[in-house]
Amino acid sequence: MAGVRLSHVTRRFGNVVAVDDVNLEINDREFLVLLGPSGCGKTTTLRMIAGLEELSEGNIYIGDHDVSQLPPKDRDIAMVFQNYALYPHMTVYENMAFGLKLHKTPKDEIDKRVKEAAEILGLAPFLKRRPKELSGGQRQRVALGRAIVREPKVFLMDEPLSNLDAKLRTQTRVELKRLHQRLGATIVYVTHDQTEAMTMGTRIVVMKDGVVQQVDTPEGIYRRPVNQFVATFVGTPPMNLISATLTSEQGRFVAQVAGQKVALPEFLTPGLKSMTAEAMTLGIRPENIQLLAESDVPAGHLPVAGVVRVIEPLGHEQMVYCQVGDNTVVVRMDNTWRGQVDDNVVLAMESDALNAFDPVTERSLLTHETPMLA
């Protein structure tokens, strides 16, 4: 096991900058998730770590070694491909044993490792089958097994669950997490699925257009996104972005939302001081708002008035789409809430959960000292 370091890693394809000056420190035994929309450069980044793609600029270190110029076989990594990439002419056993054979591992050692991995992955009954005689889920396990038996320094996984059906995906997600704990392995995992990222990652790297947006724990990404892209890419439904006008009254910042005054919490003050223009954007997640009667708004909440436009019942909860001035604000309410379309409501926003963005740069106005949540 070892950590991985990317230093100013850039990859260009003609005029396209697929990966743009990425700097990353991946810790030993970490489950690091590269998250971003399709085409943002996740796969390219992973393939550069694997040695399947050349770097246009920068260096990659595995452990203390600069591996930038090494071929994949000398990097001591294993990769799980999106389409599994099993050897179609080999049995499950041979698929897993192939890498070890190439490394001249003794036969009984190969046998031991393959059988162990097959046991962990529930593949023992299928060792003599060919890939085409397996279901998608089983193939996926063989691909995992092929990586595990190698006992590599780093596991690289490119959307390994994307070809599984929803139920199997959820199940495998849990198993992958367990596997990570069991093996104590360093894993770099690529996905465009935020649920996978949030549930499995010890840290998440959000990318967009080849540029790293934020590197943080799942909680940090979710609660304190560094910009509007991260705020809206993570979370279903995404974080509400409410446009407001910034004023100050008696040394405190006040936001005007659709003509209503919202006294902003202290912790936003340092960031807001840097604002020169009046326009700003407030950000708040749907579960940090409650629909209440005016008189019931508890301390630490900021009320704004709105009108219910759409109610989306989801069984265990409901999404309530409210109109506040020109903004649509989604509120997550539990299934006991009773309300009607066109009701006038008060949206009570948890002030600790408030985020603020500069609408021009779309960057967060929170500073590093901003507490996560009270």
Residue ranges binding ligand ADP (CB under 6 A): 13, 16, 18, 36, 38-44
**Angle between helix 136-148 and 166-183 (nearest 10):** 10
Taking CB under 8 A as the rule, does residue 88 contact other proteins? yes
Taking CB under 5 A as the rule, does residue 327 contact Mg ion? no
Question: Are 262 and 302 a contacting pair, CB within 8 Å?
Answer: yes
Taking CB under 5 A as the rule, does residue 45 contact Mg ion? no
Cβ closer to other proteins: 147 or 322?
147
Cβ closer to other proteins: 76 or 358?
76
Taking CB under 8 A as the rule, does residue 50 contact other proteins? yes
Question: Are 205 and 242 a contacting pair, CB within 8 Å?
Answer: no
Taking CB under 8 A as the rule, does residue 114 contact other proteins? no
* DSSP 8-state symbol, 127: T
Report the C-alpha gap between 210 and 23 in whole angstroms: 12
Count Cα atoms within 13 angstroms, Cβ side, for 293. 3
User: Among the candidate windows 70-78, 181-189, 252-260, 360-368, which touches other proteins by CB under 8 A?
Assistant: 70-78
Which position has the token pair 């943080």? 216
The alpha carbon of residue 371 and the mean position of all alpha carbons in its chain are separated, in whole angstroms, by: 21
Taking CB under 8 A as the rule, does residue 2 contact other proteins? no
**Please, what is the minimum distance in Å from the beta carbon of residue 159 to other proteins?**
12
Element (H, E) at 189: strand 186-191
* Backbone angles phi and psi of 313, in degrees to 5: -75, 135
Q: Are strands 240-249 and 211-216 parallel, antiparallel or unpaired?
A: unpaired
Report the C-alpha gap between 53 and 374 in whole angstroms: 45
| Near other proteins by CB under 8 A: residue from 163, 199, 217, 245 | 163
**Please, what is the minimum distance in Å from the beta carbon of residue 8 to ligand ADP?**
17
| Near Mg ion by CB under 5 A: residue from 2, 18, 20, 43 | 43
Report the C-alpha gap between 365 and 150 in whole angstroms: 46
The alpha carbon of residue 130 and the mean position of all alpha carbons in its chain are separated, in whole angstroms, by: 34
**Please, what is the minimum distance in Å from the beta carbon of residue 92 to other proteins?**
11
**Please, what is the minimum distance in Å from the beta carbon of residue 113 to other proteins?**
14
Q: Which two tokens stand for residue 334?
A: 């539990």
Cβ closer to other proteins: 51 or 271?
51
Taking CB under 5 A as the rule, does residue 288 contact Mg ion? no
With CB cut-offs between 5 and 8 Å by kind, which of Mg ion, ligand ADP, other proteins, none does residue 40 bind? ligand ADP
Report the C-alpha gap between 54 and 371 in whole angstroms: 40
Cβ closer to ligand ADP: 18 or 97?
18
Burial degree of 42 (CB within 10 A; 0-12, 13-18, 19+)? buried
| Near other proteins by CB under 8 A: residue from 31, 84, 126, 253 | 84
Taking CB under 8 A as the rule, does residue 368 contact other proteins? no
**Please, what is the minimum distance in Å from the beta carbon of residue 105 to ligand ADP?**
32
Report the C-alpha gap between 193 and 190 in whole angstroms: 9
Cβ closer to ligand ADP: 177 or 192?
192
**Please, what is the minimum distance in Å from the beta carbon of residue 43 to other proteins?**
11
Distances (CA, A) of 7 to 2, 124, 309, 316: 16, 41, 49, 45
| Closest-approach residue to Mg ion (CB) | 43
User: Among the candidate windows 127-135, 292-300, 318-326, 339-347, which touches other proteins by CB under 8 A?
Assistant: 127-135
| Near other proteins by CB under 8 A: residue from 9, 18, 22, 78 | 78
Question: Any residues with CB less than 8 A from the CB of 308 and at least 6 apart, and which?
Answer: 291, 320, 321, 322, 339, 340, 341, 342, 343, 345
Rule CB under 5 A: which residues touch Mg ion? Answer: 43
Rule CB under 8 A: which residues touch other proteins? Answer: 50-52, 71-73, 77-79, 81-89, 98-99, 102-103, 130-134, 136, 139, 146, 150, 163
